[in-house]
Amino acid sequence: MSSNLMEVRNLTVDYVGEDSVARAVNGIDFEIREGEAFGLAGESGCGKSTVAFALARLTRLPGLVTGGSIRFKGEEVLGFEKERLRKYRWREVSFVFQSAMNALNPVIPVSEQICDTIWTHNPKASAEEVRARAVEMFELVGIPPRRLDDYPHQFSGGMRQRICIAIALCLNPRLIIMDEPTTALDVVVQRDIIEQIVELKSRLGFSVLFITHDLGLMIEFCDRIGIMYAGELVEVAPSAAILNSPQHPYTRALGNSFPPLTGPRQRLEGIAGTPPAPRAMPQGCRFAPRCAQAMPVCSLVPPELKIYPERESEAACHLLK
Ligand SMILES: Nc1ncnc2c1ncn2[C@@H]1O[C@H](COP(=O)(O)OP(=O)(O)OP(=O)(O)O)[C@@H](O)[C@H]1O
């Protein structure tokens, strides 16, 4: 089994208001292995982006990481000082967010924006070396290098997002955090980009943390998936297990609310009710009020995330033995 690149333990993130605190992430544990694509799925507001920002050490007030540990290659990320943090971001871990393509500066040619990133982290590199790396990155993401000096508005949305992926990859990071990287694009372009990331991942060997609303896309692309509900992980399992033998009732409900990848069209069921508000969490299992199989114990005792080695999975549900 491959080793862990990142280990998250008991991670807790709060949003602090004037007179109240909303716990958006409530003590979650997971790991991202070397070379794997790990997905985080769950309904809107379950805390996926909050986790992504915490891992990147980009949590900003009113958000606050109030507990737990994030270890990257064994080092505690939450303890990094300014210089170590600078190296960690981009060189070791980089990001592609949904809005990334709009973050390109419209009045600066793309070449400068890529070269600046390379230069900032390699101040001793010559202009030729930096330019050569920028050309290589354009080729890597399938854009003709002759377009390197164009401005962002001269590219389509899909190409701009590829440029952001090139920028994210240009320092050879070991982990790329992708939060809805293709959501703003049409389905065909989305698939093209995801396929390209998969190909680059196997060629370059980096790991990916992938967040998307599209569970079908995630199952196809990721090796393992963590299912989040109301700030907690309720199941972590290989993608095939999430698709074929989901253990947690929420995972099943989430699966039923997406169209199947193959086979005949089916009626989608959706999930009745809405997730609880962060300030009004149920006492026991957070999913119990919406769970058709809930038992009396479920509304009293929060289930722990337990390991099921025979299935290589973890799940938090009182129904499971
Ligand atoms: N700046 C903020 N201030 C207060 N609460 C916030 C803030 N950002 C997020 N939250 C709350 O934290 C919880 C988790 O939000 P988060 O954006 O991480 O969820 P998500 O699963 O990524 O949702 P989506 O899929 O819609 O992006 C939500 O209840 C949200 O309302």
Position 66 scores a pLDDT of 97
User: 44 CB less than 6 Å from ligand 1?
Assistant: yes
Strand positions, DSSP E, the chain: 4-16, 21-33, 37-41, 63-72, 75-76, 93-97, 175-179, 207-211, 224-229, 232-238, 306-308, 313-315
Q: Which residues pair with 313 in a beta bridge?
A: 308
Position 157 scores a pLDDT of 87
What sign results for the dihedral spanned by CA atoms 257, 33, 180, 231? positive
What sign results for the dihedral spanned by CA atoms 138, 144, 147, 153? negative
- Indicate if the pLDDT at residue 23 is higher than 90: yes
Given a contact cutoff of 8 angstroms between Cβ atoms, the answer to whether 137 and 200 are in contact is no
Position 308 scores a pLDDT of 93
Mean pLDDT of the residues in the chain: 91
- Indicate if the pLDDT at residue 63 is higher than 90: yes
How far away, in angstroms, is 274 Cα from ligand 1 center?
15
Q: Which atom of ligand 1 is least distant from the CA of 277?
A: 29
Q: How far apart are CA 134 and CA 113, in angstroms?
A: 10
User: 251 CB less than 6 Å from ligand 1?
Assistant: no
Tell me which of 12, 49, 64, 213 to substitute to probe ligand 1's pocket, judged by most ligand atoms within 8 Å of the beta carbon.
49
Position 90 scores a pLDDT of 85
CA 65 from chain center: how many Å? 17
User: 262 CB less than 6 Å from ligand 1?
Assistant: no
User: 255 CB less than 6 Å from ligand 1?
Assistant: no
Which residues 6+ apart lie within 8 Å of 116 measured at CB? none
What does each C-alpha distance from 138 to 33, 148, 215 come to in angstroms? 27, 7, 29
User: 69 CB less than 6 Å from ligand 1?
Assistant: no
Mean predicted confidence (pLDDT) in 53-63: 96
Position 1 scores a pLDDT of 54
For residue 298, give the 3-state DSSP assignment.
Answer: helix
Given a contact cutoff of 8 angstroms between Cβ atoms, the answer to whether 285 and 229 are in contact is no
pLDDT one-digit tens code per residue, 212-230: 888 888 999 999 999 999 9
CA 289 from chain center: how many Å? 27
User: 227 CB less than 6 Å from ligand 1?
Assistant: no
Closest CA to 46 of 217, 281, 241: 281
Catalogue all structural domains in the chain, each as residue range(s) with its CATH number.
4-259+276-315 (3.40.50.300)
Pairwise pLDDT comparison (321 vs 56), residue with the higher score: 56
Given a contact cutoff of 8 angstroms between Cβ atoms, the answer to whether 175 and 88 are in contact is no
Pairwise pLDDT comparison (162 vs 67), residue with the higher score: 67
pLDDT one-digit tens code per residue, 231-247: 999 999 999 999 999 99
How far away, in angstroms, is 24 Cα from ligand 1 center?
7
Mean predicted confidence (pLDDT) in 195-215: 91
pLDDT one-digit tens code per residue, 154-171: 999 889 988 999 999 999
How far away, in angstroms, is 22 Cα from ligand 1 center?
10
- Indicate if the pLDDT at residue 100 is higher than 90: no
- Indicate if the pLDDT at residue 256 is higher than 90: no
User: 118 CB less than 6 Å from ligand 1?
Assistant: no
Residue with CA nearest ligand 1 atom 28: 45
Given a contact cutoff of 8 angstroms between Cβ atoms, the answer to whether 22 and 209 are in contact is no
How far away, in angstroms, is 50 Cα from ligand 1 center?
6
Give alpha helix (H) positions in the chain: 48-55, 82-87, 110-121, 127-140, 157-169, 187-204, 215-221, 239-244, 249-256
Position 214 scores a pLDDT of 84
Is the bond leading into 144 cis (omega within 30 degrees of zero)? no
Q: Which of 8-22, 103-117, 259-273 has the lowest mean pLDDT?
A: 259-273
Q: How far apart are CA 221 and CA 87, in angstroms?
A: 28
Q: How far apart are CA 25 and CA 288, in angstroms?
A: 18
Which amino acid belongs to residue 144?
P
Which residues 6+ apart lie within 8 Å of 43 measured at CB? 229, 254, 271, 275
